[in-house]
Chains A and B, each alone.
Chain A
Amino acid sequence: MAYLSMGEAHRRITDYLSRFSDAVSSQDAAVLSPLLAVSSNSASLQSLADALNVFQDSNRLVGQLERSSQLAEIVSPLLRCIQSYRLGRFADAYVVLEKAANAFLQEFRNWETPWAMEALYTLALEIRLLAEKADRELASSGKNPEKLQGAGSFLMRVFGALAGKGPKRAGALYVACQLFKVYFKLGTVHLCRSVIRSIETARIFDFEEFPVKDKVTYMYYTGRLEVYNENFLVADQKLTYALMHCSPRKEANKRMILKYLIPVKLSIGILPKQWLIEKYNLIEYGEVVNAIKKGDLRLLRQALREHEDRFLRSGVYLVLEKLELLVYQRLIKKIYVLQKQKDPSKAHQVKLEIIVKALKWLELDMDIDEVECIVAILIYKNLIKGYIAHKSKVVVLSKQDPFPKLNGKPIGS
């Protein structure tokens, strides 16, 4: 860091302060937002941080601000945050940022118009990002990473400030999405429920009036929640909405949506085209899709084992696991088709022994009881029409449409 004269440092700080107070007095969120973006690493904030290192008594300057009583509450911790952030002390930075953000929220509540919404967005984002950084720092030093939790409760307060009636409600969805991100990261997804309820039950504000980007994010997260709950139809609906409304330029976002949409579609019997998988680089699903197409149980299990960590972390593992039944169905259908080619008159009777043999070829060791059980389940879940004759160990398939397609219905419905 080049030597910085006291005067220059002083000038930078007062410059920042005057920009800040001007932005507030002129209610210019476009100017205010970048001043709050601590982690943006913008040149002006970096030079400000350097200045703060040189000029220690910045609080005196803050004290000279107009309307100091209100703004000082925001600016004073904010300056310390900028300084700490630049020094890489994220946990410290987070603590003061939360202070500043709290003060800002107080002010925001007082402002009648939502002019500062952009600035509030910035703060909400910064709080979350900084909390994540702080937690990483705390965890690496063996301390309890709890800042993200703190950020969650702060954001909840912001959400509370916005979720009521009035023009500020438009910002509620953004904060809700930030909250979702925090909760998903913390693994406390059950906390999303109250947020969702507050968004979806409000009749005074139509969902469509929220900004599109927030709606997409919201649908993405609520869709993911439905995946957890295995409500595949609702999940499909939400994720499809997100995909449809997602900005076409945001390839990464589309990929994230597809990551959940593909398993959901698979489990309601809709297979993605190969190009889609390739385009969005979701090859981990390629084998799964192939396994379903081929009725290759071994391939499915392999794919699951191979990408287990990824699937577990994204939360689709349990969904993909359930695809086994589809694979069995396809396998038995294949046997049926082959039998039909050989002897159409006896094709509708599939011996369990043959299925056992087929599975042996796939190097899957299952005895006849297990196979019988699986066939029973397939019939029970409407994947096969027919019945098992226990005595003769034969599956008797229906002559009409023995392997009904799911056609957008989830398994077992």
Chain B
Amino acid sequence: MQHKHILVMCLTQVLLYHITILQWDTKIPFMVIIYKAMIHLLSKSEEIKIQTGTGYETNSYNYQTSLWNDGNYHSYPYHHYSSYTTSSTSSAQSSATISGNSLYYQQQYNNWPYYQSQPAPIVNGAAGLENTSATSLQSAGYSAEGASSGYPYISNQPPPPGTTSWREDSRPSGMPSFQGKEAVTPYHLNKNWEAVAPGMQTHHINQSSYFQQPLNSTPLPNEKHANEQKVLYSLAPNLQHAASNQVPENFQPPLQTVPLTETRQVSKMQIPTNPRIAPNVGVSMLKTQKESCIVSAATKPAYISVSVPKPSNQSSSEDDAGAITKGTFSPSFCAYVERSFARCKDDAQRSANQSILKQMITMATADGTLFTKNWDTEPLFSLPVDQSSQQSLVSDSSLPTHKRSPTRRKSRWEPIADEKLGEKLTSVDSHSAIDARWGQVEAAEKKVDSKISESKSVNGWGGFKYASFQQQSALQKFGQRPNKKQRFSDTSSVTENGDPSSDSDKEQNLTKYYASAIALANSPEEKRKRENRFKRFEKGQGNQAELTNFRPKTAGGGSMYTRRAGALLKAKSYEDGCNKAVEDIDWDSLTVKGTCQEIEKRYLRLTSAPDPSTVRPEEVLEKALQMVQSSQKNYLYKCDQLKSIRQDLTVQRIQNALTVKVYETHARLALEAGDLPEFNQCQSQLQRLYAEGIQGCYMEFAAYNLLSIILHSNNKSDLLSSMTRLSAKAKDDEAVKHSLAVHSAVSSGNFILFFRLYKTAPNLNTFLMDLYVEKMRFEAVQCMSKSYRPVIPVAYITCALGFSKAIQMDDSQDTSIEGVEECEEWLRAHGAVLTVDNNGELQLDAKASSTTLYMPEQEDAVAHGDASLAVDDFLTRTS
């Protein structure tokens, strides 16, 4: 019966998990929020690092960009590594290179006495692992202890075939009991996530109500948390519209406690299994496992993890009950939990009771009845008879990382380390969830190990801080690596970081790290500090580490790079987390204030953040513009200078009359030089600037804009919208009128009108029309050769097609008008048939020409299609 019960639970969770995946994108914001808050909570205890590792495991899968995720995700491989070293070699200390590692060790180091001196609230087999890894850190002395915290339940499970050999090598004594657990990891992680997801759904709802009324009293009974919540909310009162959403998100401990407990719950109760191992585990296990395999369909789970209550632990039922209920739940539920524990006779029953309770909480949270149900009247559940029922099973094999074959596993160390780490993370997670609340509540209440717990929580913050060190690098990594790779326990990153070389470096860093972490751990007023730190994170100015090594030395943040990185990070997390996007980013923190006094500066495309010392401030830029305008040098030089001015303006976010002037100057120069791409760039910037109400030569450029649409892009809807935007005043403007006239000439093919307009063009309209002249002429000659009979005088064509400078044509003129030769040449080049009549006048034979006209291939055609950009040509024209 009990088996069935657990089995059903597992199935529902697997189902929920799938559902959550399907609903993924809608949930992202809430996930992010919850993870952040989880971290916040957890940070009260020293397990933060580990916890985040787990959280991240799931988290990074989907949003690597979120602020916390980055850091934590990144730190993950190092955890890994550390666990790997512990299990493989007894001398873990010598093999710690990176501060990420050392951080982890540090935590373990601190954890250790805590675990030893204080009865662990939740009896979890994984805690033993914690011990062992800490053990290796502490060197031999502890290892005995780690091993001594026996694991009777696991002992019936033979070591997984793929992992056995090396493990036994590394730890000859008492190791078999560990191996089951060491293999566990990834499933824990998945499960963890799984458990959180359903909880989230209800949670975000609560949360939203908080957003609406920040100071509204919440259904949470616990005084402490209620208070804390209020305090925190008062810090960020405008939650609803706050630009910085991160603030409220971070400050929602009361809400988040629930998902935490879920996490804890699940990570404890789940026993991921490997089908290969399953037969050894026992009948009930096998059964459930099969079931879950069917459910999760996708891939074969590689390992079974069995997390078992730790019997050697001295935990009392009161502790258990307190751990679950304190700080989070309503009094009636607390009473219910106490009742359930009261009837337990031995440890096995207690742990069974506990796991069932946790499932109940998960369910209750998922359907929102946790706070509404009348727990006083709720009947107690029946306790299981045998031990196997305490093991619930999960196989989340749908995750890509676990597709690895056992043989491959055997050949590679990293994946194993990976799993082991994960296991540790999860198991600690379950502790930390409790400790998060406990560390403080109990320290205050019992004063038993107050010192430990305090240092613990502070230390947790230290870890938190170092997580932030890694944000930057994590960000970079994510930028470089495609997302897919980052799923769950990312093998590639593990491999990267799991490289067992440079052990001595590790050691050095480890020592360094110890020093700093301990220093941090000793700070007293943790709460105030915490707030300060949060504020710092909000500003995106948290200490940023060097990208390459993770030494905590770059505490002197505030350099432009770190600011930028922070703000970018923030921006990303905003986008992912809460649809808030660009407008909420503090762009000011990204803006550079230039100090360069050089007037002349070459343009160089930025490949990194601008350096203020090479950026010119506005007044220097003004001089630079004047210099360019009065310069006698060629266009290339001017273009280069103007581009550098534009760049300096852009990086300093200067958008005023000067900006408009620069773009206008550049646009005009580009037009004169026939540099259309550059002109278009300037033009589009100008459009935007004018639209923002900055004064400039609006009419002139409106005319250019029309012309370039009419003559080049020929996009009807663009033209229409441009024409629609023209004000009545603009339509009276000489230049705009001219452009509109050009439009009607072009659209009707009226070449006479076109070339007249060509001659009378205001401003630089001629230059734009230039680019259409060839086409217009050809069309005109085609038209003429079809509609004229028998001949057309070349002199007439010369005038009609704008070869001569005269505006008005006059047939009475003699044939010696200027431009006739040019016209003749052009006509011949286009295949026209020319004849000379009796009077010696050159004429176009219309009928003959109508079939022979062709558009000659441009001799100066270039591969990129824009002859005006051909360098030789360009140089001759512009110099």
Residues of A within 8 A of B (CB): 56-60, 62-65, 68-70, 72-73, 76-77, 80, 95, 99, 102-103, 106, 109-110, 144, 187, 189-190, 228-230, 309, 312-313, 315, 317-318, 321-322, 324-325, 367, 369-370, 372-381, 387-390, 396
The answer on a CB contact under 8 Å between B717 and A144 is no
Partner of B213, one of A56, A63, A390: A56
Pick the 7 closest A-B CB pairs, nearest first: A63-B368, A379-B787, A59-B205, A387-B789, A373-B752, A376-B787, A380-B783
Q: Which of B341-349, B353-361, B720-728 contacts A (4 or more CB under 8 A)?
A: B720-728
Pairs across A and B, CB under 8 Å, 18 listed: A58-B209, A59-B206, A69-B16, A70-B19, A72-B202, A72-B205, A73-B201, A99-B26, A102-B25, A317-B720, A318-B716, A318-B747, A321-B747, A374-B748, A375-B787, A377-B787, A381-B749, A388-B788
The answer on a CB contact under 8 Å between A110 and B792 is no
Once A60-B219, A103-B26 are accepted as A-B contacts, the answer to whether A312 and B202 lie under 8 Å apart by CB is no
CB < 8 Å A-B pair total:
149
The residue on A at minimum CB distance from B366 is: A69
The residue on B at minimum CB distance from A189 is: B717
The residue on B at minimum CB distance from A370 is: B752
Complex alpha-carbon distance, A273 and B367, angstroms: 67
Chain B residues near A69 (CB-CB < 8 A) = 16, 19, 198, 201-202, 366-367
SS of B interface (majority): helix
B541 to chain A, nearest CB (A): 27
The residue on B at minimum CB distance from A305 is: B731
16 further interface pairs, Cβ-Cβ under 8 Å (given A62-B205, A73-B23, A376-B787) = A59-B208, A60-B209, A60-B368, A63-B205, A64-B369, A68-B366, A69-B366, A110-B22, A144-B583, A187-B721, A228-B716, A317-B723, A373-B751, A373-B753, A379-B787, A387-B787
Partner of B789, one of A77, A80, A322, A388: A388
The residue on A at minimum CB distance from B219 is: A60
B445-466 CB contact bits vs A (8 Å, 1 = yes)?
A: 0000000000000000000000
B388 in the interface, Cβ–Cβ < 8 Å? Answer: no
Once A376-B783, A380-B786 are accepted as A-B contacts, the answer to whether A369 and B752 lie under 8 Å apart by CB is yes
B793 in the interface, Cβ–Cβ < 8 Å? Answer: yes
Partner of A60, one of B372, B719, B784, B787: B372
Number of B residues with CB within 8 Å of any CB on chain A:
55
Complex alpha-carbon distance, A363 and B751, angstroms: 22
Interface residues of B in 367-390 (CB under 8 A from A): 367-369, 372
Complex alpha-carbon distance, A69 and B367, angstroms: 7
B216 in the interface, Cβ–Cβ < 8 Å? Answer: yes
Complex alpha-carbon distance, A110 and B21, angstroms: 12
Complex alpha-carbon distance, A340 and B808, angstroms: 33
Interface residues of B in 703-743 (CB under 8 A from A): 716-717, 719-721, 723-724
Interface residues of B in 9-44 (CB under 8 A from A): 16, 19, 22-23, 25-27
The answer on a CB contact under 8 Å between B717 and A68 is no
Interface residues of B in 800-814 (CB under 8 A from A): 800, 808-809
The residue on A at minimum CB distance from B788 is: A388
Most chain A Cβ neighbours within 10 Å, of B198, B204, B784, B800: B784
B413 in the interface, Cβ–Cβ < 8 Å? Answer: no
Once A60-B372, A69-B198, A70-B19 are accepted as A-B contacts, the answer to whether A376 and B720 lie under 8 Å apart by CB is no
B750 in the interface, Cβ–Cβ < 8 Å? Answer: yes
Complex alpha-carbon distance, A325 and B745, angstroms: 12
The residue on B at minimum CB distance from A376 is: B787
Residues of B within 8 A of A (CB): 16, 19, 22-23, 25-27, 198, 201-202, 204-206, 208-209, 212-213, 216, 219, 366-369, 372, 579, 583, 716-717, 719-721, 723-724, 744, 747-753, 782-784, 786-789, 791-793, 796, 800, 808-809
A313 to chain B, nearest CB (A): 6
Partner of A369, one of B25, B782, B800: B800
Complex alpha-carbon distance, A65 and B367, angstroms: 8
Complex alpha-carbon distance, A144 and B809, angstroms: 53
Chain B residues near A373 (CB-CB < 8 A) = 750-753, 800
Chain B residues near A375 (CB-CB < 8 A) = 787
The residue on A at minimum CB distance from B198 is: A69
The answer on a CB contact under 8 Å between B209 and A59 is yes
Chain B residues near A68 (CB-CB < 8 A) = 201-202, 366-368
Chain B residues near A144 (CB-CB < 8 A) = 583
The answer on a CB contact under 8 Å between A95 and B579 is yes
The residue on B at minimum CB distance from A64 is: B368
Complex alpha-carbon distance, A321 and B716, angstroms: 13
Chain A residues near B717 (CB-CB < 8 A) = 187, 189-190, 228, 315
Partner of B720, one of A57, A70, A312: A312
The answer on a CB contact under 8 Å between A72 and B201 is yes
Complex alpha-carbon distance, A76 and B30, angstroms: 13
Chain A residues near B748 (CB-CB < 8 A) = 321-322, 324-325, 374, 377
Chain A residues near B716 (CB-CB < 8 A) = 228-230, 315, 318
A119 to chain B, nearest CB (A): 17
The answer on a CB contact under 8 Å between B205 and A370 is no
The residue on B at minimum CB distance from A328 is: B748
Complex alpha-carbon distance, A369 and B647, angstroms: 50
A404 to chain B, nearest CB (A): 14
Chain B residues near A77 (CB-CB < 8 A) = 208
The answer on a CB contact under 8 Å between B26 and A76 is no
Most chain A Cβ neighbours within 10 Å, of B368, B583, B719: B368
The answer on a CB contact under 8 Å between A57 and B209 is yes
Complex alpha-carbon distance, A228 and B721, angstroms: 12
The answer on a CB contact under 8 Å between A390 and B372 is no
A390 to chain B, nearest CB (A): 5
